[in-house]
């Protein structure tokens, strides 16, 4: 019997050659109008690609950057306050200890905090730019869908597609050396618009136009009125000045002074709070602005404050939403649907649930006010406890006895002291036999 041949061992884990992505075939524009199924697919394109999820991530990134800026600036203020307390204690003790080393550490920390805050602010601007890009894509898709629907599946002529087609036709004419008249060329562009131009080319052209228009805007137009950027600036300003009498935040017109903004823009600066103003326990004056922690509806401290985007009034979320839901007034909302609304309890502005937004700056101020009130209450309770521990001797009897009982006891003691036999009388003992 012939010996069995040994098969060569094959390495199962042999590395396969790395293959790149399969190249896609060249794009071919449609030769016929889009049917109803294609039009529905075009209409559902934004929903299928989940742009809402992308916008949610962008909002989360902006919130994280804003919170990081608040944290590092809060930490700097805590270290600064700690240094000031230590310096005052040393001055009271008459110590000549030098604080140059602490000064240098604090200056370095302040410089690092400012640099990091600038980086975070730049990242917030990038997120705003990305959000504008997403919004531009949504607008372009919507316009494309409306264009195809209104032209029965064809791509109608628009300024974008006319410009692109004219550029291509000019290129062809230069290559062929044609000398056609301008009117004939325009007729040719209009006739071939729905046949030779694809929806993808029109979409790309529209997105490119919106991107160019956005990049041509100044930084002031991009960010000065954007809610996310304004919120970031407010948070950082509140972290810089957590004390009661904080200076007003610079006007948005001064944020990008290097661009030489219009000098006619009024700069609103609030007046400083009067020193002899009567302070309420639940209110705090911040640069002539009184921040109340009480809801105008419940007259109780706000647990979840929200601020109107149409007026500068804040309410407790549960109370204001309950009033809006029970209101019989309706206004036209998004998608031409009627939504419930009510007049602002403080002014005459109509408010809907979508007009109420969480105000992080107000939440920070309310927390500081509540913490200050709690600390004040703790100090008052400590003083009361010390006063109660201080009385001794017959002062305790006055606290624990009524006036009538004290008068009766004093009269009885005086009568006993005047009796002649009481002073010389000895204490008598009862014999054990009588027990």
Residue 239 CB coordination number (10 Å): 21
DSSP letter for 351, please.
E
pLDDT tens-digit readout, 211-227: 999 999 999 999 998 98
Over residues 310-321, the mean pLDDT reads 89
Maximal C-alpha separation, the chain:
152
- The residue to which tokens 């041509």 are assigned: 216
Q: Rg of the Cα trace of the chain?
A: 40
Condensed to tens digits (0 to 9), the pLDDT of residues 24-68 reads 888 777 777 777 787 778 777 767 767 788 889 999 999 999 999
Distance CA(413)–CA(394), nearest Å, equals: 15
pLDDT score of 394 more than 50:
no
pLDDT in tens, 229-285: 999 999 999 898 887 677 888 888 888 877 654 444 433 333 333 333 334 444 443
> What's the CA gap between 174 and 62, in Å, rounded?
50
* More confident site: 22 or 407: 22
According to the model, what pLDDT value does residue 122 have? Answer: 94
Q: Look-up: residue for tokens 């917030």?
A: 124
Q: 65: exposed, middle or buried (C-beta count within 10 Å: 0-12, 13-18, 19+)? A: buried
- With beta carbons less than 8 A apart as the criterion, state whether 298 and 282 touch: no
- Beta strands in 111-267, from DSSP E residues, in sequence order: none
| Terminal C-alpha separation, the chain | 129
**DSSP secondary structure letter of residue 355:** G
What is the spatial distance between Cα 168 and Cα 196, in angstroms, rounded to a whole number?
11
Is residue 249 a contact partner of residue 229, using CB atoms and an 8 Å limit? Answer: no
């Amino acid at each position: 019997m012939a010996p069995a041949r040994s098969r060569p061992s094959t390495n199962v884990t042999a590395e396969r050659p790395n293959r790149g992505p399969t190249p896609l075939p060249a794009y071919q524009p449609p030769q016929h109008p889009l049917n109803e199924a294609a039009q529905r697919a075009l209409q559902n394109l934004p929903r299928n690609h989940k742009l809402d999820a992308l916008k949610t991530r962008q909002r989360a990134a902006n919130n994280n950057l804003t919170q990081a800026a608040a944290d590092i600036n809060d930490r700097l203020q805590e270290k600064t306050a700690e240094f000031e307390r230590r310096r005052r204690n040393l001055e009271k003790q008459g110590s000549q200890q030098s604080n140059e080393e602490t000064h240098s550490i604090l200056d370095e920390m302040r410089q690092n905090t400012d640099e990091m805050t600038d980086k975070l602010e730049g990242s917030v601007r990038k997120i705003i730019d990305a959000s504008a890009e997403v919004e531009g894509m949504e607008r372009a898709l919507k316009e494309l869908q409306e264009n195809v629907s209104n032209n029965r599946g064809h791509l109608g002529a628009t300024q974008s597609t006319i410009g692109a087609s004219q550029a291509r036709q000019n290129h062809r004419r230069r290559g062929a050396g044609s000398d056609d008249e301008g009117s004939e060329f325009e007729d040719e562009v209009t006739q071939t618009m729905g046949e030779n131009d694809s929806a993808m080319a029109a979409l790309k052209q529209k997105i490119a136009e919106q991107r160019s228009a956005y990049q041509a805007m100044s930084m002031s137009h991009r960010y000065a009125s954007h809610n996310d950027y304004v919120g970031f600036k407010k948070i950082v300003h509140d972290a810089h000045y957590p004390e009661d009498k904080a200076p007003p935040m610079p006007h948005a017109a001064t944020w990008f002074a290097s661009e030489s903004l219009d000098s006619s823009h009024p700069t609103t600066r609030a007046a400083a709070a009067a020193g002899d103003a009567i302070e309420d326990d639940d209110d705090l004056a911040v640069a002539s602005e009184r921040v109340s922690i009480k809801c105008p509806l419940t007259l109780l401290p706000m647990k979840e404050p929200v601020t109107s985007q149409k007026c500068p009034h804040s309410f407790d979320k549960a109370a204001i939403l309950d009033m809006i839901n029970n209101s019989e007034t309706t206004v036209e909302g998004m998608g031409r649907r009627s939504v419930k609304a009510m007049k602002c309890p403080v002014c005459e502005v109509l408010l809907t649930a979508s007009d109420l937004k969480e105000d992080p700056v107000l939440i920070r101020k309310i927390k500081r006010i509540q913490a200050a009130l709690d600390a004040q209450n703790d100090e008052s309770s400590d003083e009361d406890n010390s006063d109660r521990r201080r009385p001794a001797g017959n002062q305790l009897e006055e606290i624990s006895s009524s006036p009538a009982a004290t008068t009766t006891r004093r009269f009885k003691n005086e009568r006993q002291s005047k009796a002649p036999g009481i002073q010389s009388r000895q204490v008598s003992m009862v014999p054990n036999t009588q027990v």
